[in-house]
Structures are given as structure tokens and as C-alpha cells.
Structure 1
């Protein structure tokens, strides 16, 4: 989904996903990409009011807006401040199309507004579920809701007539790249009626890379050497990424899950073509 504008009512995120690309942005406030990112949450308390003012301007052209590109708009603090809900009301009034990215099942609270937005403009929801594997989920996403709870949210939104699908992103080498783990996740996506599914291989930049490598050294030291080879730069080698994508595509076809037809509102690495050697996508350590 192409977009012209992004909205992030919060900065930082208590979900604390170790791979989150937004961690590197904390340095703009002289904060670290580690615990500061998940424990110090900036709340833009006048966010919805400023948004409504901007949308009321006669120059507003109802361009595509992406909500949640550098924070999760449905992290727990939203339950108190309701900035995302108030923003949706403003976007409905302005008949502005929106795409939303979240790991938060709280989004079902706003099914009424999302359905209304779908009627007056358009609304697509991208629920992030990188894996349903219990150990991988607990290691990588310590502050998030259970993956199956997120998938149940997708089902609820679909039942409400909302265009909702899943981002199986990032695909994290050594944690979620095993064929059985990918297959289980994609099957679960299909079983919960997702309208589409997209996937991208992990990339690591700046402070995010520093944090993730530190996380590995502490919790999974046996993976460090392989990660240092695979991520000599920000992105995994194109051949490796293409092989993973080919395996994902094959599993999507097996479970009859639609691939995304449009570009989604996330910061992604360069794409590559498919590789016929799909069964080689499992990450090799050592």
C-alpha cells in the first residue's frame, strides 16, 4: 500500500521486540535503543487535536495515511490515552484512507470506527505475527500479546467486514526460518481467515543492530558467529532472502493464503526474485 503520510501517536513501544527497526530512532532524543525504547514512552497528548486541525485545512487532498510505522498504535498505553481511536474519528470525518500496522489485539476495540472508515474511504489492517512458535515468540517479542490472540483479532476484524491481513515479518534467521515453523504460522494465518499475508526477511541497521547483537550475545551466544556473517551489512544476502521468500511463497500456495497485492506501510529492505531452491531456506549455523 503506497502512502504519503505517516502517523505515530506514541514514540517507543512497550512490546519490546528485539528486532524492531524503530529502536534506532531513540538516539534522536539521546536515548539508547535498548531498555529506553521499551520503558520510556513518549505520549503526544495533543496528537488527535493537531491531526484534526490539519485534516480540516482546505488544502488536504485525502492522501493515503499509514498509522503505526514507527510505534505500535495499539500498545497497552493506548487503552488509557485513546489517541489512536480519536485519530481514527478525525480520519473518518476527513474521509481519508488509512493503513494500520499493529501487534495489538486492542485494535478490535475500534472495529466500529474501522468499519466506518472502510465505508467512507478505505481501511486496511496489517497485524504483525512473525511466528506462532512459542519459544521464538517469547524470545523475540517479550512484551507482546500471544500470536494466536493476534490472529483471533484478525478473524474478528474480518467478520466485521474489514480488510485485515497478516505481516509475517520479520522472518528472523534461526528463530522462525525453519520450514516447520513457517508452515505452522502460515497455516494459522489461513485458518483465521486473513485477507492477505506478506513477509520480509529481517534487516538490522544502526542502534537496532547494536541492540539485537547484544541480545544474541546474552541469550543466544551460539548464534553470534552466524549472524555476523549473514549481517555483515544491514541486509541478509540477496540469494538467502530470495530463498526464504520462495519457501514462504510455496507455503502460501499450499495453504491458499493470498499474497499481498500492494506494498505495505513498513520500512523494508530491497526485494529479490524467487529462488527454486526453496527447501534450502532453513538457516544453517556454523
Structure 2
């Protein structure tokens, strides 16, 4: 019987919830280096849940310098089966004002300075990213958001830019012409790596500002973003408690993420060295050690 375990990747303030008891900080090493910070293991209504601050506690890691591979590997080591990303984004549409949440179902990856795969050395795998988020986990997120009385949009396209600078006006207008909904700096390659690790992934984006395309918001101000971010975080804490309680009800045993590596690895068995198989043990040991 599979034990389903949920992890939240997001800001360090999301786990400051009084009801989270029996807190334990876990320090892990991975073949890809160290994750962003120690991972918090805690319980809510007797359910185990993990929290990983993406930028480290105190927000000291730039988006381009996040060790995404180590983060995903570490969570997989802990037996995590489901990840919900909670992240701040800018809005590319008039009807997505600051304070609104978006359950993202598509990404446009515009990053270029990040390691994007676990399968870079000797063993090659091609996983499908046509539908990068888990529909069943999105349903769980939607239920939690509704019960939290948060204004939200189901489905939306997230442009992931490199950063840490915000967009130019020309870039912002380009992304709007693509009909994208929000823009941020963190969900790629996170979503790709979660898929390679066969971990179901969902993204809840919290709008903090209109991107610079908006005539009244041509200069994105960090202090203003933080003000909305703190308000959003309070709402997100309520959502997360409901999500921890409900996510297992929505799990689909036929979710394509569950066994996606079965048809992804293309490298001939005789070309796979034990050194690389060992390195990939946490991520792909299920298929490589058969």
C-alpha cells in the first residue's frame, strides 16, 4: 500500500501555523548537492507533511541559484509523493489583480541558466510535459482554496523567467501577446524535475502585483510586493491546512506521473554504468534496479 506524503515548497512563513506540532528539521544531502535549507517535518491532524523554503529561511537564494535538483531529490528521499508549489507571481491580465490566486496548469519555460534534468549523464530519459501539473492534485488545491474563501482562477499559464530582475516593458507585452496569465521565476525546472522523479506536482500562484505592462504599475516595487505577499501568505496558511487534510481524497491511481519513467528511459541497459545508476537511485531506482 502506497503511503501518500505531501510537501509544500514555498516561502518560509507558510509553516508558521500554531496547529503544526512535533516539528523536526531534517538536514539531507543529495548527489546534486544540498537543498535550499533544512526540511521541516511536522504533523497536522495526525498527517505528516513537509515544508521546504525554496529560497532558504530568510530568502537568501536567488531564483537562478536554487538547487532545484537537490530540493526534489531530498523530498523524494523522504517519501514525498505530492508537491504543491506556492509562489508569488506578477499578473499579465487585468482580471488577475493582486491578492488573487491562480491554479496553474501550463508553463512557458524562459529560463536558461539552470540545470533542468536528472538525466544528463549516460542515462537519457524523455518524460512527457504536455500536462505538467497533476489534475487530481489541482482538484485538491481548488477544494482547499474554495473552502478558504480565496478569490481564484482555475487554470492558467505561468511564464517562468530567469530573473532576478523583473521584466522589461517589451518582454511583458510579449508575454501578454502569448495569452499567458502570470509571470514568476521559480516553477521551472521544478515542475520538470518533479515529473522526472514521478512526484505529482501542482502550482498555486499568488498574485502580488501587475507586471510592468500595466500603465499604473510600470515600476514593480519590492516593498509593495512584500506587503501583498504577507497578506497572501495568511490566506495560503488557511488553504494549506485544508489541503493537508483533503489531498488524499483526490489522488488518482492512474495519474500519468506515477509511472512515467516506465516509457521514458531510452538508453540501452549495457550503457548504464553502476556509478550513474547509484546517483539516480532515489529518482529512478524503481525502474533502473529492476
Higher relative contact order (CA 8 A, sep 6+): 2
Which structure shows the higher strand fraction?
2
The TM-score, its normalising length taken from structure 2, stands at: 0.26
Structure having the higher helix fraction is 1
Q: TM-score, normalised by structure 1?
A: 0.26
